[in-house]
Amino acid sequence: MKKFLFVICFLCLTAASIFAQGSSEVEMATELRSSGKIYVVVAVLAAIFIGLAFYLFSIDNRLKKIEKQQK
Amino acid sequence: MNKSWWKILAIVLVLFSIIGGFLFHVPAKPILNESIRNIHFHVPMWFAMITMLAVSFVYSIKYLNKGNENDDLMAVESANVGIVFGILGLITGMIWANFTWGEPWSNDPKQNSSAIALLIYMAYLVLRNSMDEEQKRGKISSVYNVFAFPIMVVLLFVLPRMTDSLHPGNGGNPGFNTKDMAPELRPVFYPACLGWILVSLWITNLRFRIRKQENLNS
């Protein structure tokens, strides 16, 4: 019985140390994401890219007009 | 080429990579930390460059075969766009390297050889612009371009992988090797690459059509 308890305790301790390592080892921006502010950055970047995409489309359309005039 | 579905696809893919690249879960690694998300933005620049230079290579061969001037114009414009994306790749890589490898330029084999490859292609543009006569210009620059492409491939994909490099994937292709890239990055990484390749193709298409109009008017 004593041996069994010892083994259980040992397993618990090793498991705890593994979990502790897993949580404190690498610094990631979990807090930044959980506070919700990262969505603002994503929205800004998406807005910039959509704007550029529309700009490309407008250049494309202008070119199409010029190409039609040439024909 | 003038249909717009692939242009919309390009925008959707890149938008997806911006959203997924910032919000999806990434593996937690020391030194890299959150900067691993750069892989969805820095690496596609190189994919776009290589694709555009391959397009340029194909059109140069086409021009040498048939002698159609439009093929020569397409070869130049795709090389132009390829160089722009290559410069963007270098700059984004230097920013990333500054925070992970400690300095913007650490003489990593891949950094050095990508800079040499870009110089080779800039020499192509200088060579082409130094000649006035159209046929001579087209032929000489096409021959140069046909040789420049395999040199670029060797510089970027062969030589850096034969020595130790700070870049991942020595002795293999890190983008497609199952061990070199975490599986949760792939659903964003591949669409990002395809999206940016299509965007670069779009810009090349626009520049080619402008060049063609200029050619008609002159």
Mean pLDDT is lowest, of B26-40, B69-83, B174-188, B194-208, for B174-188
Asked whether residue B119 is assigned to any structural domain, the reply reads yes
B181 has pLDDT over 90:
no
Asked whether residue B9 is assigned to any structural domain, the reply reads no
Asked whether residue B172 is assigned to any structural domain, the reply reads yes
Q: How far is residue B23's CA from residue B8's CA, in Å, rounded to a whole number?
A: 22
**CB of B126 less than 8 A from some CB of A:** no
- A53-67 mean pLDDT: 91
- B39-61 mean pLDDT: 96
Asked whether residue A20 is assigned to any structural domain, the reply reads no
**CB of A31 less than 8 A from some CB of B:** no
Quickly tell me which residue has 């498991």 as its tokens: A15
**CB of B29 less than 8 A from some CB of A:** yes
CA-based nearest residue in chain A for residue B8: A53
What is the domain range of residue B119?
A: 39-212
- Per the structure, the count of domains in chain B is 1
B43 has pLDDT over 80:
yes
- pLDDT band with cut points at 50, 70 and 90 for residue B178: low
Mean pLDDT is lowest, of A20-24, A40-44, B8-12, B172-176, for A20-24
Identify which of B45, B53, B64, B79 has the alpha carbon closest to the alpha carbon of residue B142. Answer: B64
B170 has pLDDT over 80:
no
DSSP annotation of A2: H
Our separate counts of H helices and E strands in chain A read 3, 0
A57 compared with B169, residue with greater pLDDT: A57
- Mutate which of B1, B24, B188, B206 to disrupt the A interface (most A C-beta within 10 Å)? B206
- Name B1's Cβ contacts closer than 8 Å, sequence gap at least 6: B205
pLDDT of residue B157: 87
Which member of A28, A49, A63 has the closest CB to residue B206?
A63
B165 compared with A11, residue with greater pLDDT: B165
User: Are the Cβ atoms of B23 and A33 closer than 8 angstroms?
Assistant: yes
**CB of A19 less than 8 A from some CB of B:** no
pLDDT of residue B163: 79
B52 has pLDDT over 80:
yes
Percent of chain B scoring above 70 in pLDDT: 94
Average pLDDT taken over every residue of chain B:
90
Q: How far is residue B93's CA from residue B111's CA, in Å, rounded to a whole number?
A: 9
Q: Report the sign of the C-alpha dihedral through residues B148, B150, B155, B156, in that order.
A: positive
- pLDDT band with cut points at 50, 70 and 90 for residue B173: low
Asked whether residue A53 is assigned to any structural domain, the reply reads yes
- pLDDT band with cut points at 50, 70 and 90 for residue B167: confident
Asked whether residue B59 is assigned to any structural domain, the reply reads yes
Asked whether residue A46 is assigned to any structural domain, the reply reads yes
pLDDT of residue B146: 97
- B183-200 mean pLDDT: 93
- Per the structure, the count of domains in chain A is 1
Asked whether residue A7 is assigned to any structural domain, the reply reads no
- pLDDT band with cut points at 50, 70 and 90 for residue B77: very high
Nearest Cα of chain A lies from the Cα of B188 at a distance, in angstroms, of 15
What is the domain range of residue A59?
A: 32-71
- pLDDT band with cut points at 50, 70 and 90 for residue A3: low
User: Are the Cβ atoms of A56 and B206 closer than 8 angstroms?
Assistant: yes
Nearest Cα of chain B lies from the Cα of A15 at a distance, in angstroms, of 20
Asked whether residue A6 is assigned to any structural domain, the reply reads no
**Would you tell me which residues 186-205 of chain B have a C-beta closer than 8 angstroms to some C-beta of chain A?**
202-203
Residues B89-143 have pLDDT tens digits of 999 999 999 988 989 999 999 999 999 999 999 999 999 999 999 899 999 999 9
Residues A35-56 have pLDDT tens digits of 667 788 888 898 899 999 999 9
pLDDT of residue B31: 83
